Homo-oligomer: A and B are copies of this chain.
Amino acid sequence: MTRMPPPIDPTRDLVLTRVVDVPPELVWRAWTVPAHVKKWFTPAPWTTVDCEIDLRPGGIFRTVMRSPEGEDCPNVGCYLEIVENARLVWTTALGPGYRPGVASGLAENCGVDFFTAIIALERAGAGTRYTATAIHGTAEGKAKHEQMGFHDGWGKALDQLVALARTM
């Protein structure tokens, strides 16, 4: 069974690609162990104060981000695909057990419309070609996520992930 390639729809998708100097195995651990996620997932001065991971299709991926002012943003989603050291897919459009999401307020999912994230890792020498794709239902959803700082935020978070991975 072939896996879906990352979809390419520039009107609705956001993509961050970079080669980092830590191997896929460490990037994978940083993404899949809650104690690690809490250290890098949110660009400072925001923090990630909670993280729950049930690493199987349909399992929960939950984080709570805290603003510098102390306001908490819970994010709940579930995993769709787990290919160790290579590909991690989750969505905020479904909760644990694949239950359709019902975000109804700005505090939920930090005001970001439902999206599906694909984290693709390819070995590149001693490092990793890292591609994060965020798939939105509409161009408006993409634009909102972009305006909230997708590229800067996911890029800074990746810097934090790499710094953490170097200490593993």
Contacts and interface: CB of A to CB of B under 8 A. Distances in A.
Interface of A: 1-4, 7, 12, 55-59, 80-82, 89, 91-95, 97-102, 113-116, 118, 135-138, 141
Given A1-B82, A93-B93, A99 B135 contact: yes
A161 to B, nearest CB: 23
B82 A57 contact: no
A136 B100 contact: yes
A59 B89 CA distance: 14
Given A56-B2, A59-B4, A94-B93, A100 B81 contact: no
Contact of A100 (B1, B89, B91): B91
Ranked nearest first, the 8 interchain pairs of A and B with the lowest CB-CB distance are: A4-B58, A100-B137, A7-B97, A100-B114, A102-B137, A93-B100, A98-B116, A1-B56
A134 to B, nearest CB: 10
Contacts of A7: 97, 99
A88 to B, nearest CB: 12
B137 A101 contact: yes
A137 B80 contact: no
Contacts of A100: 91-93, 113-116, 135-137, 141
Contacts of A115: 100
Contacts of A56: 1-4
Name the residue among A95, A100, A136 with the largest chain B CB count within 10 angstroms.
Answer: A100
Contacts of A55: 1
